[in-house]
Amino acid sequence: MNQSDSERIRSVIEGMGYELTKIEEEADLIGVVACSVRQKSIDKVYSKIQKWNQWKNNRSLITFVSGCILPSDEAKFLKLFDLIFRMSELPELPTMIQQCGVILEFSAHHLFDDLEREDDRTDFWQVEPTYSSRFEAFVPIQNGCDKFCTYCAVPYTRGREVSRSSAAVLEEVETLVENGVKSITLLGQNVNSYGLDKKGEELSFAELFRAVGELGKRSGKEFWVYFTSPHPRDMTRDVIEVIAQYDCLAKQIHLPVQSGDEEILRRMNRNHSIDAYRKIVSDIRELLPTATLFTDIIVGFSGETEAQVEASAKLMEEVGFNMAYIAKYSPRVGALSASWEDDISLEQKGERLAKLTKILKRTSLACNEQMVGKTYRVLIERVDKRMKEALSARTEGRILVRILHAPEELIGTFQNVRITSAANLSLTGELV
């Protein structure tokens, strides 16, 4: 979402005549799209702005911050940055920059007032993004979240759920497809509750995804469409049925479960049971037998017992995820659970993370080994970060494949690759 926001911010700034520089020291205007999910990201923002503010002693520089900002950080950022704005205020950014000194005061009060009220302005979606990749794009379809998971601050930083118009989403997807983009990800904090805020006026998520599938069919072009992140509560069978019907709808599902324990899920306010999650997994296995399954899991949530970690371990074994983003719980100011005791030590969290990672590596390896010797369609993405002599690619199921001795001109294209070996979380292959 931050990348997508950055692409729109870039368009607005470039529209004012600014040019992109990759040399930080050269910039006249510099900003951050912040993420408040982890403290580490926010610490980075503080270290950056301190450095930039020192530069201001010798030259003129305007600084801004946007993105997901917790109320507590917002108050501090106001003193450090020249401008702070919500994405909904993006169309006003040129005025803010032009009148930086004057607007500053107004902006500060304006934002503080805003925190308490709903902000459903969506003009910023009309800003045409400057995509950072020629073959991969992120398309926001929804912003904000109504779920109020107790560990999460998103409903407070991004506000309530607002769906973008399906006509605008489909128009953006169509343009991307016409321009030869190969991988498109529909984005939202809670993507599959799309349309619920405009029931009767807008398409449901399944209907929107079907329309994307139809568009793909008509285009005759090859591309894959993903979505992230869905919530199990809104993951209905009709969405899975739609994915099964269209080649362009990627057979990869990222379905965050967060914990394998009912009581923890209840305390997280996830509002679904483990059995409901199992039912979705069984629907996926039945209707999309080739689909890969990814998840998010938190370890060390307030009050989590060893038995509850064991429940997460059991669920991971049972489902056999291809990928799991396992995170140590850290309280986020503004989220409800921040007022609860963070009673699991860092050491225990580390042990729990290691325990679940071990299972993930085993289940992922088992899935990957079954792919050896077979040929898969992959999208080649870049020169590999670890092996400079290899290109990295992704299967439709988003499994990383390193291809040795392939020419860089193939970056951004689909190729057939025979898998030659499997590791924990990746594969190696050769061009066919």
Q: Which is nearer to ligand SF4, 46 or 148 (CB)?
A: 148
Q: How far is the CB of 342 from ligand SF4 (least distance, A)?
A: 18
Q: How far is the CB of 253 from ligand SF4 (least distance, A)?
A: 16
Please report whether residue 278 would count as binding ligand SF4 according to CB under 6 A: no
Q: How far is the CB of 99 from ligand SF4 (least distance, A)?
A: 34
Q: 365: buried, middle or exposed (CB in 10 Å: 19+, 13-18, 0-12)? A: middle
Q: 372: buried, middle or exposed (CB in 10 Å: 19+, 13-18, 0-12)? A: middle
Question: In this structure, are residues 302 and 180 in contact, taking their beta carbons and an 8 Å threshold?
Answer: no
Backbone angles phi, psi at 336, to 5 degrees: -60, -45
Q: Which is nearer to ligand SF4, 152 or 406 (CB)?
A: 152
The 336-355 site mask, x for binding ligand SF4 (CB under 6 A), equals: --------------------
Q: How far is the CB of 154 from ligand SF4 (least distance, A)?
A: 4
174 token code pair: 């169509």
Q: How far is the CB of 256 from ligand SF4 (least distance, A)?
A: 7
Q: How far is the CB of 339 from ligand SF4 (least distance, A)?
A: 16
Beta strand spans in 118-276 (E): 136-140, 142-143, 162-163, 183-187, 224-228, 252-254
Q: Which is nearer to ligand SF4, 143 or 252 (CB)?
A: 143
Please report whether residue 106 would count as binding ligand SF4 according to CB under 6 A: no
Question: In this structure, are residues 140 and 90 in contact, taking their beta carbons and an 8 Å threshold?
Answer: no
Q: Give the integer Cα–Cα distance in Å for 129 and 8.
A: 4
Q: Which is nearer to ligand SF4, 298 or 393 (CB)?
A: 298
Please report whether residue 298 would count as binding ligand SF4 according to CB under 6 A: no
Q: Which is nearer to ligand SF4, 190 or 368 (CB)?
A: 190
Q: What element of type H or E holds 297?
A: strand 292-299
Q: Which is nearer to ligand SF4, 190 or 295 (CB)?
A: 190
The 214-233 site mask, x for binding ligand SF4 (CB under 6 A), equals: -----------------x--
Q: Which is nearer to ligand SF4, 256 or 412 (CB)?
A: 256
Query: Residue type at 363?
Result: T
Using alpha carbons, list the distances in angstroms from residue 181 to 243, 257, 290, 304: 19, 31, 23, 44
Please report whether residue 266 would count as binding ligand SF4 according to CB under 6 A: no
Q: How far is the CB of 67 from ligand SF4 (least distance, A)?
A: 14
Classified as helix, coil or strand, 285 is helix
Question: In this structure, are residues 288 and 247 in contact, taking their beta carbons and an 8 Å threshold?
Answer: no
Classified as helix, coil or strand, 124 is helix
Using alpha carbons, list the distances in angstroms from residue 257 to 232, 346, 365, 416: 7, 22, 21, 33
Q: Which is nearer to ligand SF4, 106 or 148 (CB)?
A: 148
Nearest one of 151, 188, 16 to 90, comparing CA atoms = 16
Count of CB atoms within 10 A of residue 6's CB? 18
Q: Which is nearer to ligand SF4, 152 or 291 (CB)?
A: 152
Q: How far is the CB of 233 from ligand SF4 (least distance, A)?
A: 8
Q: How far is the CB of 107 from ligand SF4 (least distance, A)?
A: 26
Q: How far is the CB of 36 from ligand SF4 (least distance, A)?
A: 11
Residues in 180-199 at the binding interface with ligand SF4, rule: CB under 6 A: 189-190
Residues in 130-159 at the binding interface with ligand SF4, rule: CB under 6 A: 145, 147-149, 152, 154-155
Q: Give the integer Cα–Cα distance in Å for 251 and 243.
A: 7
Count of CB atoms within 10 A of residue 25's CB? 9
Q: Give the integer Cα–Cα distance in Å for 71 and 41.
A: 16
Query: Residue type at 194?
Result: Y
Q: Which is nearer to ligand SF4, 154 or 371 (CB)?
A: 154
Residues in 239-258 at the binding interface with ligand SF4, rule: CB under 6 A: none
Residues in contact with ligand SF4 by CB under 6 A are 145, 147-149, 152, 154-155, 189-190, 231
